[in-house]
Structure 1
Amino acid sequence: MSNTTTEASISDLIAEIARLREQVEAAQSLAQRAEDRGQVENLFNRYMFLHNAFEDEQIIPMWVKEGTEGIRARYTNAGQYTTWQSVTDYHRGRPHPEGKLILHTTNTPVIEVAADGKTAKGVWLMAGTESGLTDPKVAEAFPDMYSPDEVLGKKVWAHWVWCKYAIDFLKQDGEWKFWKFRCYELARAPFEENWVSFGLKNQGAFDLDLMYFGDDGKPVFMPPADEPVPSKNHPYSPQTTQKLEPVPPVAHEHFVDTFA
């Protein structure tokens, strides 16, 4: 009787140890995914701090290694970039114009790390301001973008701006990196005008390859794209309805390209 009891107790103990091991492994996996999620969010937050300060060249090491398959960036309808060089060129040579201020603040993140721990997906909303001074002659090309008054003998552009971001991340050598990056401009409006009326006359802007306004407010255009966009996105218009794009990521086992 005692031998039978002892054998049963040992069997129960072995089963309990197995259950505890499973629980520990599950807890470790959950903790790692939480750590990964935090690192992904910090990566994009660092990106935005650097971008707001015109320190974009510091963003280049935050991208995947040169030669990584599947790298992609897309900012407008003018095309998308699919090589490491063309993607990182977006961050090179940006000036620090006197009087220019951009303040992009991101919020409402939805981030999902794949169960295999190799990739992650995230979407964000962004609300911000963009502003600067432009030579009056340069401003003649885009009259609707500027305020009526001048400051220091220059035209003022001061805009509210709203965007959406959809980003895929890849873990390389234990660190999370940008892999596929997409920005959707949702709406913008000069300080003196509402976004409804401005949205009606700004529909063509997203088809242009304007990258930013540089020294003296001169427009700087995107480098030639590697390929056309597979589908177009247009900012808010009072003549269209809103749609869920990008679709926030959900829990998943392995990478699926949902932001193309």
Structure 2
Amino acid sequence: MSDTVAETSVAELLAEVERLREQVADFRRLAQRAEDRGQVENLFSRYMYLHNAFQDEQIIPLWVKEGTEGIRARYTNAGQYTTWESVTRYHRDRPAPVGKLILHATTTPVIEVAGDGETAKGVWLMSGTESGLTDPEVAEAFPDMYSPEEVLGKKVWAHWVWCKYAIDFLKQDGEWKIWKFRCYELARAPFEENWVSFGLKNQGAFDLDLMYFGEDGKPVFMPPADEPAPQRNHPYSPETVQKLEPVPPVPHEHFTDTFA
């Protein structure tokens, strides 16, 4: 009788140990996913801090390594970039003009790490300001972009700007890296004008390949895209209805290209 009880007790203990092992494994996976999510959020926040300070050269190492299949970036309707060289060219040789200020503040992240732990997806909203000084002769080409007064003998451009971001991340050599990047400009407006009236007359701007305003406020344009944009982004217009775009990621086991 005692032998039967002992055998039963040992079997129960072994089963309990196995259940505990499974629970520990589940907790480890959950902790790793939480750690991965935090690293992904920090990665994009670091990107934005560097971008705001005109330190874009330091952003290049945040991207996947050269030769990674599937790398992609899209900023406007002018096209998308699909090689490491063309993607990172966006961050090279950017000036830090005197008097220029950009402050892009990202909020409202929805981040999902794939169940296999190899990729992650995130979306963000961004609200911010962009401003600087421009030589009056240069400003003549874009009269609606500037404030009526001058400062230090130059025209002032001071804008509110709102964007959305959809980004895929890839874990390489144990570190999270930016893999696929998409920016959706939603709306902008000069400081003196509301975004409704400006949105009505600024619909064509997103089709242009303007990259930034450089020294003396001179416009610098994007390099030629590798391929056309597969679909167009439609910034805010008082004549259209807003859409859920991009769609926030949901829990998933493996990567699917939902932000194309």
1:170 maps to: 170
For residues 170 and 204 of structure 1, the distance between their equivalents in structure 2, rounded to whole angstroms, comes to: 34
Tell me the equivalent position of 1:156: 156
Distance 1:130 1:189 in 2: 10
Cα distance in 1 between the residues matched to 2:107 and 2:134: 30
State the partner residue of 2:78: 78
In the alignment, structure 1 residue 102 sits paired with structure 2 residue 102: yes
- Aligned pairs for 1:1-260 within 5 A: 1-260=1-260
Task: Please identify runs of 4+ aligned residues in structure 1 that moved more than 3 A.
Answer: none
- The size of the alignment, in residue pairs, is 260
* Gap regions ≥5 residues in structure 2: none
Cα displacement (A) at 1:27: 0.2
Q: Secondary structure at the match of 2:104?
A: strand
Q: Distance in 2 between matches of 1:247 and 1:83?
A: 25
Q: Structure 1, residues 183-210: CA drift from partner, whole Å, max 9, x if none?
A: 0000000000000000000100000000
- TM-score in terms of structure 2 length: 1.00
Give the whole-Å Cα distance in 2 for the aligned partners of 1:22 and 1:183: 41
Shift of 1:62: 0.5
Q: Give the Cα separation in 2 of the matches to 1:25 and 1:237.
A: 50
Matched position secondary structure for 1:235? coil
Q: CA deviation at 1:178?
A: 0.3
Letter in 1 for 2:252: H
Matches of 1:194 and 1:11 in 2, distance apart? 73
**What amino acid is the match of 2:212?**
Y
CA distance in 2: counterparts of 1:53 and 1:234, whole angstroms: 28
Q: How far off its partner does 1:127 sit?
A: 0.3
- For the residues of structure 2 that align with 1:62 and 1:195, how far apart are their CA atoms? 33
Deviations 1:138-158 (A, max 9, x none): 001100000000000100000
Residue 232 of structure 1: how far off its partner (Å): 0.2
Q: CA-to-partner distance for each residue in 1:200-228, whole Å, 9 max, x for gaps? A: 00100000000000000000000000000
In structure 2, what is the Cα distance between the partners aligned to 1:194 and 1:63?
36
Determine the C-alpha separation between the residues in 2 that align with 1:256 and 1:10: 46
**What amino acid maps onto 1:221 in structure 2?**
F
**Which sections of structure 1, spanning at least 5 residues, go unmatched?**
none
TM-score, L = length of structure 1: 1.00
Q: Report Cα offsets for 1:84-130 as digits up to 9, x if no partner.
A: 00000000000010000000000000000000000000000000000
State the Cα distance separating 1:234 from its structure 2 match: 1.6
Post-superposition shift, 1:135? 0.5
Tell me the distance in 1 between the aligned counterparts of 2:61 and 2:96: 20
Matches of 1:199 and 1:2 in 2, distance apart? 84
SS at match of 1:250: coil
Task: Report the RMSD for the aligned CA atoms in angstroms.
Answer: 0.3
Deviations 1:46-79 (A, max 9, x none): 0000000000000001100100000000000000
Aligned-partner SS, 1:231: coil
Separation of aligned partners in 2, 1:234 and 1:141:
24
Aligned amino acid, residue 90 of structure 2: Y
